[in-house]
Every structure is written in C-alpha cells, then in structure tokens.
Chains A and B, each alone.
Chain A
Amino acid sequence: MSGVNGVTKHAGSAPLLTLRNVSRRFVTGRDFLGRVQQSVCAVDNVSIDVEPGTTLGIVGESGSGKSTLGRLALRMIESDAGEIDFSGEDLRRLSPKDLRQLRPQMTMIFQDPYSALNPRWTVGRSIAEPLRINGSSTREETHSAVVDMLARVGLDADAMHRRPAAFSGGQRQRIVIARALITRPRLVFCDEPVSALDVSTRAQVIGLLEDLQRDLGLTYLFVSHDLGIVESVSDRIAVMYLGSVVEIGNAETVAREFRHPYTASLVSAVPAPDPRAQRVRRRIVLSGDPPSPVDPPSGCTFHPRCPLAEPICAREKPPLLIDAAGHGVACHVTQGSTDLIGANLLARMTDAREPGISTTLPVRVPAPDSAPASASMP
C-alpha cells in the first residue's frame, strides 16, 4: 500500500491526477426492448492535469458535467473512454481490491452538509467511519485522529459526542471536511462545498480549506457554478459547457484575460458588490437556457447563445488549443484573433448582442453611452 498517510508532496511537477480524453455517456431513455434510445454525453473528451498541492477549479452551469467529471476522476463512477492516472496508477485498470486500498487517498466533500451526515450518528462516529472502513486503526488511534481532526477544522473535541442537529450549516460543513480528511487523503474532490452556506460562513469555510491545503499538502478539485468563488480558491480553472472544457488556464488568466465568449458571460454574471461599477458595466445576459445535453447543438455547442458566432461555429467543433503558457481555448472566433481578450471580448459581445427575448424589456439602468471603450470591466 503506497502510503495511506501520504502527505508527502511529489517532488517536481509530475501531476497528481491526469485525465486524458475522458468521456462518459448516460443513458436517459430506452425502448421497450431495452435498446438505448437516448443518451446524454455528460463528459465529452476531457483532458486535465492537476499538480500536487494545487487547486483546479471547475466552473460551469448546472448540467455542464462538472460534478460528473469529478466523480469520474475519483472513479466513483466508471468512464466510457480515456485514461485516468492518479499518482502513477492507471485508475481505470485497477482491480476492485487495489482500488479500495487507494480510496483513502481520494475523498470527497459534498455540497449539502444537511444531507451528507447521518442524523442518527454522533459526529465522532461519522468522522471515524472512513477509518473503520479502512480497518487499519485501533480504537485509540481512531479516537485521537478524530480529536485531532476536530481541532484542525475548528470544532471542540466534545462535538464528537453530539449529533448533526446540534450544529449550524457552517459547522456541519466543517464536520464533513473532517470526515473527508481523516484518512489523510492527497486528492480531495470538493463538490460545491460552500453553495449551501451563508456568505459570511462561506468565507470561513473557504479559509479553512485553504489552511488545510497548506498544512496537509492537499490537492483540490474544486467544483462550483460561482466564478467569483472559484477564482478566489483556484490555481487553475477549467470552464465547462455541455460536457466539454471550453477554456482552461491559470486562475488569473481565465478570470481576467479570458478568451472564450462563454467565460466572458460567466464573468459578467458574477455580481460585483460595487453599485457604481455595476451600473457602468454592461452585462451579457445570455438569452435562453442552456441547450439540452440530450440533443446538443452541432459544431461548437455554445454557438446558439453566442453573440459572436460565425457560420463555421455551427459546422465544426472547435478544438481546445493550449498555448505555451498553458492557457487553452476552444473557440473558432477568438483563436484567430489577438485582441479578443478579457474586457475587449466582453465589449465586443455586448455590441454584437442580438436583441433577444431577455433584452426586449426596458433595461433598468441603461449604459451611459454605447462606445465600446466604456465597457471595461471593474
């Protein structure tokens, strides 16, 4: 067994987790003979690397496949195609027995701390459960590990004798984090860990996750629909739309020098807590809902909602081209251009926006003028 307590960081920059061309399709409809009639490509040909000790943020709307990608990466569900490499082991080929031995190194933090804990179990029992399943610790070891973990997540030791009902949402999420880290994992998949929490608690929990990452050398796969949060925690960000990664790069780059129109619309959707900046800023309110993944649009799946779409976008799916700095974009329009970056791209998109349904209503705060120069981001 290769180090259950493996907090050791890999020397050099060998990725801890590598996904190559991973795909997963879910069957959503069968005919009366059980033949597949309808399926959804939840994750379509995705390749990502995660360096040890870093955070990869995955951002996208509901239905974009971001949670599925995380589950595939931990082999909590099986992938249809591709390679998944976790610290040198080919995860897809591991026998169930070997996989079980590797499990303590890959854990998960769930979105809803109210349903993630068994209400009848004491907190101590919930936190100790992974160690019990693992079967490698004595009672005393388990007890001291739980006490230690509770202290690390900022809860009193006597919390272990109480039940989840005695705790608030933020405290429960701390318990869920303690349970995820009790086996001293190397990779933690955080699936919208703060979406269910209040704003002030959210910041606390994110701070805690950052402290624990530093102290324990953790690697995070951080999934959220909120680009603001993802930007504040991630080293790198992958933006997903309908199962594909449309943009990937360093957090700063993706959030400020984004080159994909979908990323631009996500950026402009983040509510800026600054009334004046918000008034001069022009939002790209995407018209319509995300298309159904059952019947995705041809070519670039974003083209029906994209204000910059050209004829080629409906025909060919753009490849994800990654430059030397590790910034990848899958877009026909912006790949060929040098100036469609960040604020410029946003300005171009608001100018090109067709008067769709969502804009026929009078806009409450009209932009002062329509010169592209005024549309800079705050």
Chain B
Amino acid sequence: MNRTADVAALSIGGLEISLVQGGRPVPVVTGVNLSVNKKEVLGLVGESGSGKSLTSLAATRLLDPRVVRTTAGSVKLFGKELLTLPEAEMRRVRGKEIGIIFQDPMTSLDPAFTIGYQLNCGLRWHTDLTRAAARNRVLELLGLVGIGDPRRRVDQYPHQLSGGTRQRVMIAMAIACEPKVLIADEPTTALDATTQAQILELIASLATTMEMATVITTHDLGVVADVCDRVAVMYAGQIVECATTDELFYRPKHPYTERLLQSLPGVRAGRLQGIPGQPPRSGRFPQGCRFAPRCPYARPGCSADDPELTRVQTDHAARCLREAELELTGVGA
C-alpha cells in the first residue's frame, strides 16, 4: 500500500490488545494491520466496543497496562518500533511526533489552568522556545485552528469556551509541535452537527497543509465520507473491511459495512434499517465469523470457519467467506 512513500508514516502490524484484569489475558483486539502515509487521512470506523479507540490509543502507548495491554504486534513510526521504546523516549514521541486529539474536550482540558498555559506546557517541554516565543506560537496556533481573537482567548479558562472552541484548543495542542502523525479519537462525537462540520473540515485541511498522516476514529460512517482517503471498518476487535473511501461506500464487500451504511439517515428512502442484535461483548467473540450471528447473509459455514482479511482488489480488502458470491448494496445504488 506504500506507493507514495517507501515507509509508511504509521504502520500497525498484527496488533493484539488484551484485557489483563484478573487471570488470563482476554484478547479484545486481534490481528489489526493498518498503515497511513504522509498527507493521508484514514478513517477507523466501528461501534462502541469494536476496539477502534483501543487501537488508536495502543499506537501512542496510552493504554493503562494494569487493565489493557498490547500483547502482540508492532507499531512503527517511519520504520521505528514504538512498542519497545523506553517510556522516557516514548514521551518525546507523544505530542512531538504523534499528536492526539481526544474525544471529549470537556474532560480533556484541565479546568484549573488557562488554555494558553496548557498549550504552553507541551510546547516548552518538547522544544527549546523561549517564554516569549512560545507565547507567540500559542497565539499563532489559536489563529490557525480558527479561534477568533486569540489574544483574549489565550487567557481564558476552558469553562469560558464553547464545546467547539474547546475542541479547537485540543487540535491546537495536538498540532503544536508539528507532528508527523495525528490521531483523532472520535473528535466530533461530543459536538453539535454544525460544529462537527467545522471541526472535520479543520482537521482535514490541517492534515493537507501540515502534511500529516491522520487517523480519525468514529462510529459514524457519514462523518468520514468527505474527509477520509481510506476507511477501515472494525467489528468485534477485527478489521472487517478496508478500502478507499469511494470503494467502501459504493462497492462495500462486507455485510457489516453494508448494514452500517443502511443505518444512516438519507441513504435509503423510508425506514431506517438498523442491524438486529447486539455486538458481542469485548473478548467474548463467537466462533468463526464474528459478525455471523447478526449477518443477514450468514450460512452455517460462516460460524465454523474464521474468515481471513483477503484482498479483493487493489486497495480493497474484506473479511467475509461469501465475499465473492454476495452482491452488496452501496450508497446511491
């Protein structure tokens, strides 16, 4: 997949994440392979419990090792292995080379400090900017993420800002040191529809102008339609389909992707179609294809054999035993 660059900006291979609380580790994410190139935006889509956030947090080693641990696989930043890096060196990577935007701007900012102070902290830790230079950089960053009147805003506290502005501050923090990789974990879930559009457009344009490799996780496929170049769909701890955005939307090859698209308002006339049943609980995955119990196309064989993620085209892979025989409906059919 690395056609534009020899080495992917971020590549995750064979990642397995397990719950380690009490007794034997229970794998909750298995066999995840992903790679993102410079200037590319990858959407990581899945329902709650699918492992999308765990995957993105594992890439930055932010998982709490007392609860969840990366038990196998590798995470490489321009070919450099991150999982075995000493913590002291990892701290130099986090925030400097990998920027992270968290889901909830309400709880990710410290209410006791001004946003200027919080932006300043990371900057001065990672760089040798002087106090004055750092302050100028903070003002510049606030302007860059579209916050009006940065001089006034910089001395305000998080509670004085709206949800959208707080998320902009989070973005400013993430890009402060001009990272090469940006990970946005459900950046718009906590926001209103109008603000959501603004924030997505901002992230996408920053990814282009700053030449970052970007991963956006979300549970809403509609969100990624226009900002992502490629989309990986996760279900029950596995990637079930991965393709370019157009391929995935117009020619889905996995029943779960098809059903997820049909769940969105505006895709088909009349009633919204949900997916019957519930996703399996983390770690208690069914035998064979993990989606089979909810799949309208499931055959007895589906619960017996474990499907592999197989390439069906260049830039399109799906994990379905019946992929070749199924005619799935995409968007706008």
Contact = CB atoms under 8 A, between A and B. Distances in A.
Interface in B154-170: 162-165
B236 interface: no
A273 B246 CA distance: 11
Nearest to B144: A361
Contact of B219 (A199, A266, A274): A199
A206 B274 CA distance: 9
Contact of B206 (A199, A361, A363): A361
A247 interface: no
B47 A201 contact: yes
Given A273-B249, A274-B249, A364-B205, A210 B271 contact: yes
A274 B274 contact: no
Interface stretch (B76-84, B96-104, B130-138, B191-199): B191-199
B211 interface: no
Interface in A261-303: 265-266, 268-279, 283, 285-286, 288-290
A357 interface: yes
Contacts of B194: 61, 265-266, 269, 286
Q: How large is the interface on A (under 10, 10 to 19, 20 to 34, 35 or more residues)?
A: 35 or more
A28 interface: no
B197 A200 contact: no
B159 to A, nearest CB: 13
A256 B202 CA distance: 27
Interface string A165-204: 0001111000000000000000000000000001111111
A273 B197 contact: no
B272 A285 contact: no
A171 B220 contact: no
A199 B47 contact: yes
Contacts of B22: none
A372 B246 CA distance: 26
Contacts of A268: 197
Nearest to A60: B192
Interface in B230-250: 245-246, 249-250
A358 interface: yes
Nearest to B247: A275
A268 B201 CA distance: 13
Contacts of B221: 199, 273
Given A288-B148, A357-B146, A275 B223 contact: no
A288 to B, nearest CB: 6
B316 interface: no
Contact of B193 (A168, A227, A363): A227
A327 interface: no
A275 B47 contact: no
A206 B206 contact: no
B180 interface: no
Most buried by B among A170, A203, A228, A360: A203
Give the interface centre of A198, A232, A265 by most chain B CB atoms within 10 Å.
Answer: A198
Nearest to A167: B278
A62 interface: yes
Contact of B146 (A169, A204, A225, A361): A361
A232 B202 contact: no
B273 interface: yes
Contacts of B262: 203
Contacts of A62: 163, 192
B26 to A, nearest CB: 18
Interface string B260-284: 1111111100011111101100000
A226 B193 contact: yes
B301 interface: no
Contact of A204 (B226, B265, B275): B275
Given A275-B245, A285-B201, A269 B332 contact: no
A279 B198 contact: no
A355 interface: no
A349 interface: no
B47 to A, nearest CB: 4
A166 B200 CA distance: 35
A262 B204 CA distance: 24
A206 B271 CA distance: 9
Contacts of A289: 162, 164-165, 195
A44 interface: no
B255 to A, nearest CB: 12
B192 A273 contact: no
Contacts of B276: 204
Interface of B: 47-48, 144, 146-148, 162-165, 192-198, 200-202, 204-209, 219-223, 225-227, 245-246, 249-250, 259-267, 271-276, 278-279, 331-332
11 contacts: A168-B279, A199-B47, A200-B260, A204-B274, A204-B276, A274-B225, A278-B225, A279-B226, A286-B198, A289-B165, A361-B146
Shortest Cβ-Cβ A-B pairs, 6 listed: A204-B274, A203-B274, A278-B226, A228-B265, A203-B272, A271-B222
Given A288-B148, A358-B201, 17 more contacts: A61-B195, A198-B219, A199-B220, A206-B274, A210-B271, A227-B193, A229-B265, A232-B272, A271-B197, A273-B225, A274-B249, A274-B331, A278-B225, A358-B146, A362-B205, A364-B205, A364-B227
